[in-house]
Amino acid sequence: MPQFDYSTLIVIDDTADRESASDGHSRYGAYIARHAGHFHEDGEPLRPAEFAAAAWRTAISPVMAPGYAAVRPDIDRIEVYVDPDGGAQLCAKIGLRHSVLAHRPAGRLLDWERAPWSRPGEAWPALASPERTDRPAVLVTATVLLPVPDAILVTPTTARPGHTLTDEAKTVVATLAEHANHNLAPLVADLLGGVR
């Protein structure tokens, strides 16, 4: 199980990826091969931001389960978007419980609940919609956007699945994870106010 904390939103386990690979190289690489159409444009390599988005989308759940890049369970999702200028942005969706809001809803409205599939005692439990339906619920989700510097993106040298494309995809996913852990994690921690 990946180890998460306030400064770690994303964990990558290359050892597990290699050990669970049917080809002895990379389980993630097998998923890239299955989704090869997402990694080229008319047979040509993608531009760096598009490559980052394709590599990231393939590396996380639900495409890979468990993902090559594991996202902290209390984060609804982290995606990579290509902006209109051709740059990349990390986009995190975080469920906010009423207890962290400056203004809390009036009355006894239902809130996010600990997901039933979360393990007991888990420090970062996933959140889910309330099971009860007898009262209104206000489920607040924050969207946090973080620009990705062009300098940390990878320009792929191939559009063909194989060791080279896998290694380039792993490089960009690891760089995005490091960028998120260093720059996005403090924003999320501040947003949550140390409360889960």
In this structure, the number of other CB atoms found within 10 A of the CB of residue 134 comes to 6
pLDDT score at 178: 97
71 beta partners: 10
Confidence class of residue 100 from pLDDT cuts 50, 70 and 90?
confident
**Taking a C-beta distance cutoff of 8 angstroms, is the pair 144, 92 a contact?**
yes
Structure tokens at 136: 């209104």
**Chain-wide mean pLDDT for the chain?**
92
**Taking a C-beta distance cutoff of 8 angstroms, is the pair 128, 112 a contact?**
yes
* pLDDT tens per residue across span 17-30: 999 998 889 999 99
Residue of higher predicted confidence among 34 and 132: 34
pLDDT score at 81: 95
For tokens 């924050």, name the residue: 142
Q: Name, in order, each residue with C-beta under 8 angstroms of 12's C-beta and a sequence gap of 6 or more.
A: 68, 69, 70, 173, 174, 177
Locate the domains of the chain by residue range.
Answer: 10-192
Cis peptide bond prior to 130, omega within 30° of 0: no
Global confidence as pTM: 0.91
**Which one, of 78, 69, 54, lies nearest residue 165 by Cα?**
54
pLDDT at 195 over 80: no
Task: Reduce the DSSP state of residue 182 to 3 states and report it.
Answer: helix
Within the chain, where are the H helices? 14-19, 27-34, 48-59, 163-179, 185-192
